[in-house]
Amino acid sequence: MDDFSHKPTLTGDKVVLRPFTEGDAETMAVILDDPETLRLTGSAGAPPFTPARLREWYGSRGAQPDRLDLGLVDRASGALVGELVLNDWDEPNRSCNFRVLVGPQGRDRGLGTEAIRLLLAYGFERLGLHRIHLGVYAFNPRALRVYERVGFVREGVERQALLHEGEWIDCVRMAVLEPEWARHRGHVRPYTP
């Protein structure tokens, strides 16, 4: 693996993951302004991005050799409903951070689960990554279930990592390793007590 210069289009049954364009800024502005999106990403209270900054950001994603940002498109409607990102690339250790953001129009229909599986498959099978990791806030049990379902394993907790509306929220650290992915390919039954 040299870098993340190639920006693929990945197609599943329900979703398409595709490179961003500057024209996606307006749709992403609406998604990024959603109160639930802001809460779940720990961004509530942060100043909003300007339209010019969003155009610059999404217009420049294709030129980034050290990260992969892809738009999440609902195949049924053709609508852009979120984003998936591999970033914080640790080249010597073949490791990346992962994050996903699904806006209101894409929730509760399995789009995120399929999209995550597509991106993990690309990361492990095409990019040669060994480890993909993430952090998720403890007040997002829906995301925790999805991450476990696709093979992420809980590794620890960053205690009181986010101050949200006067309350301290933990951040759960999770990762999936290439040998694990090779065994289950993103189809794991989550533990239920």
Which backbone phi and psi does 37 adopt, to 5 degrees? Answer: -60, -45
> For residue 81, is it within any domain?
yes
> For residue 182, is it within any domain?
no
Which backbone phi and psi does 175 adopt, to 5 degrees? Answer: -155, 160
> For residue 96, is it within any domain?
yes
Q: What is the SS3 assignment for 59?
A: helix
> For residue 72, is it within any domain?
yes
Instruction: Quote the percentage of the chain above a pLDDT of 70.
Output: 96
Which backbone phi and psi does 79 adopt, to 5 degrees? Answer: -85, 140
* pTM score: 0.92
> For residue 122, is it within any domain?
yes
Say yes or no to pLDDT of 191 above 70.
no
How much is the pLDDT for 193? 42
Q: Can you give the residue range of the structural domain that contains 28?
A: 10-134
Say yes or no to pLDDT of 39 above 50.
yes
Question: What letter does residue 105 receive in the DSSP assignment?
Answer: G
CB atoms within 10 A of CB 147: 26
The whole-angstrom separation of Cα 68 and Cα 52 is 21
Helix (H), strand (E) counts: the chain: 6, 8
Measured in residues, the chain has a length of: 193
Question: What letter does residue 9 receive in the DSSP assignment?
Answer: -
Instruction: Quote the percentage of the chain above a pLDDT of 90.
Output: 83
Average pLDDT of span 93-110: 94
**pLDDT per residue as tens digits for the range 47-95:** 778 899 999 999 999 999 999 999 999 999 999 999 999 999 999 999 9
* Number of separate domains in the chain: 1
> For residue 186, is it within any domain?
no
In CATH, what number is assigned to the domain containing residue 32?
A: 3.40.630.30
Q: Which of 66, 76, 180 is nearest to 130 (CA)?
A: 180
How much is the pLDDT for 1? 59
> For residue 180, is it within any domain?
no
